[in-house]
Structure 1
Amino acid sequence: MNASFLIATKKLCRNIALGASILGVTATASFAQAPNYPTQNIKMVIGFAAGGPTDVIGRILAQHMSASLGQTVVVENRTGANSLIATKEVAKAKPDGYTVLFASLSHNVNRLLLNEKADYDPLKDFAPISLAANLPLVLVTSYDSPFKTLQELVAKAKSTPDNVSYGSAGNGGSAHLAAAMMATQSGTKMLHVPFRGNAPALTEVMAGRVSFMFYPSIGIANHVNDKRIRVLAVGSAKPMEDFPGVPTMDSSGFPGFEQTAPWVGMLAPANTPKPIVDKLNVAMVQALNLPEVQKRLKELGAIPVGDTPEQFREFLVKDQARWAKVIEASGITAE
């Protein structure tokens, strides 16, 4: 056998052994991070204003996850551009488990609307942790609004185009998509007024300066009881017991609105070690299964989920396809 060939073979074997050793050390280091993790505060970035649905649920989970993880989960609101600012910040964060994103459906929608300009990929740039909850939408207007039924609102929109306005948490958000879908189905033209979060948008609706909006059912019952808003229709498959006598969008002539229910969930930057992702998932699912959390979320109109990272990833893939169809049918653009 050629001597040079034998020397090359020995060198190759040494390199393979060295590579395997390095990989083994890397894997061991990765798995070793989980038992000691976390050793410092965890930052939960939320792309919407304090007091809105995503923020409220995120803070409930942050409180209970802090207790189980032994370190404080600190909520940081990074508002603007329908959570695009927050999403990009977390996508570029160090994948060490100390920065996570509490996201909504805008996670997929921003990318669909902006394409490469979004500067992130909702699947490739993130490690899903768990889907937290779904929040059926309800169509609300001011309690003193001239619109007492959905039919009256649609009739006004048909008779005076652009005189009926609707609020949202930002371009491409759940409220925007739902209202645009309703406008398409009813053949009307209405004015979209985006805000930096659902909470400020709802404030303007309650004041009567914006005609209506689609809002996650979270906390709405309290405003109804205080006679600050009126619910004209619910976007769930069946009537909601919190709003007796209020029809569904489907029964009002607008089918398919139960699919517009926004979701909220937690993601980490891509390449976050799986043991850390799994530890965050366990803490989050445990929090969602606590009786007091279940009770609180039900009071807010949210439907708790709490799935695995793999299930959440599968959900995100299907969610992306669903909203791509809605955006195409409604003709929504990034502007």
Structure 2
Amino acid sequence: MPRPDHHRRRLLAAAAGAALAAPLAAFAERYPSHPLRLVVPFPPGGPTDIVARPLARQLGDALGQSVVVENRGGAGGSVAADAVAKSPADGYTLIVATVGTHAINPSLYRQLPYDPVRDFTPIGLVANAPVAIVVPASSSVRTLAELVAQAKAAPEKLPYGSAGNGTPGHLTGALFESAAGLKLTHVPYKGSAPAVTDLLGGQIPLMFDPVQSVLPHIAAGKLRALAVSSRQRAAVLPGVPTVAESGYPGFETTAWWAVFAPARLPAEVAARLAQEVERIARSPEFAQALGNLGVHPAPEGPAALAAYQKAEIGKWARAVQGAGVTLD
């Protein structure tokens, strides 16, 4: 039989727990009471906007409050990610995180001002897009096997372009070099647009870049896609094989977008946001809003996102190490 003092302590502990839970429950009931900020860690007009704007519109409808998209570029998305990490954990500031901000940057930058796991609450994965391996339509290379043969015949002689050091295109190229046992020469550009311009003009013979950047030129017959880096073929390029089915089983990389909040978000608020974000990501309206640009819905809840992020951090760390690139 428990002693009276022990019983009294248990009652006091239970009362204290109930006292703490009551304000949280009340907070969750009236959440949200004013507009939310959805931070995009890049300037307007990029692929992250393709995901963020329909998501903000639908999330606002679901919550009964406007969700304002705030574009905040700088340092590969790190400026925005750091600002969100340091924001109040009240459910009113969210970020559309990318594979860069929450998987690549920890290995790429020597001094990252935030921890992509410890400083955030995962809400949900919402979309992804494969990297395409493309050549000019005039190129004699028609398959990935032919590209590999050409590269192995002249090690380090074949250049490939990307949107810049540490981007998904660059690091997918580095992972492919490792998988295929070859050496290419990386040519970094300041964004996809100038790299695609040089590819179309014949200044470079090859490029690795997320499919949405090169898709219009593939559709116009100016570029040829040799393969895509996703596990399954891209719906917008059904005739293009994956790298995995081209002789490299298990090869997979994607650019991806997910919603995170600052760490220590109240559980009730996190659950509400996760429920709404996953429902939106599964909706036909969201898929239609993404359009036929190569960005696909990829709905996953908080637990699946956390596990996926952990695996992605490890995979991209190996890619960064293989590429031998770090940024200040």
Shift in Å, 1:42: 1.6
User: Structure 2 CA distance, aligned partners of 1:50 and 1:203?
Assistant: 21
Could you say what secondary structure the match of 1:100 adopts?
A: strand
In structure 1, the residue matched to 2:45 is 51
* Alignment: residue pair count: 320
CA contact (8 A) 2:126 2:257 kept: yes
CA deviation map 1:222-272 (0-9, x unaligned): 442233433122223454453354343235444433x21232110001012
**62, 65, 69: which one pairs with 2:59?**
65
CA contact (8 A) 2:320 2:326 kept: no
| 1:301 maps onto 2:291 in alignment | no
Could you say what secondary structure the match of 1:171 adopts?
A: coil
User: Structure 2 CA distance, aligned partners of 1:157 and 1:81?
Assistant: 35
In structure 2, the residue matched to 1:334 is 326
Could you say what secondary structure the match of 2:57 adopts?
A: helix
User: Structure 1 CA distance, aligned partners of 2:224 and 2:190?
Assistant: 20
User: Structure 2 CA distance, aligned partners of 1:122 and 1:309?
Assistant: 14
| 1:126 maps onto 2:120 in alignment | yes
Structure 1 residues 152 and 308: alpha-carbon distance in aligned structure 2, compared to 1, 3 A threshold: closer
User: Structure 1 CA distance, aligned partners of 2:51 and 2:194?
Assistant: 17
Shift in Å, 1:145: 5.8
CA contact (8 A) 1:181 1:326 kept: yes
User: Structure 2 CA distance, aligned partners of 1:282 and 1:212?
Assistant: 42
Shift in Å, 1:77: 2.4
CA deviation map 1:43-75 (0-9, x unaligned): 212223433333211222112112111222222
CA deviation map 1:181-239 (0-9, x unaligned): 2233342231231435x566556545655544333334754442233433122223454
Stretch of structure 1 that moved more, 228-237 or 83-92: 228-237
In structure 1, the residue matched to 2:220 is 226
Could you say what secondary structure the match of 2:309 adopts?
A: helix
Superposition pairs of residues 121-200 of structure 1, within 5 angstroms: 121-143=115-137, 148-150=142-144, 153=147, 155=150, 159=154, 161=156, 164-168=159-163, 170-184=164-178, 185-195=180-190, 198=192
User: Structure 1 CA distance, aligned partners of 2:203 and 2:65?
Assistant: 43
CA contact (8 A) 1:81 1:171 kept: no
User: Structure 2 CA distance, aligned partners of 1:99 and 1:203?
Assistant: 37
In structure 2, the residue matched to 1:99 is 93
| Runs of 5+ consecutive residues of structure 2 not aligned to the other structure | none
In structure 2, the residue matched to 1:284 is 277
CA contact (8 A) 2:162 2:209 kept: no
User: Structure 2 CA distance, aligned partners of 1:88 and 1:119?
Assistant: 6
Structure 1 residues 239 and 127: alpha-carbon distance in aligned structure 2, compared to 1, 3 A threshold: closer
RMSD, aligned CA: 3.4
Could you say what secondary structure the match of 1:305 adopts?
A: strand
In structure 2, the residue matched to 1:30 is 24
**Percent pairwise identity:** 33
Shift in Å, 1:33: 2.0
User: Structure 1 CA distance, aligned partners of 2:318 and 2:87?
Assistant: 31
Q: What's the TM-score once normalised by structure 1's chain length?
A: 0.80
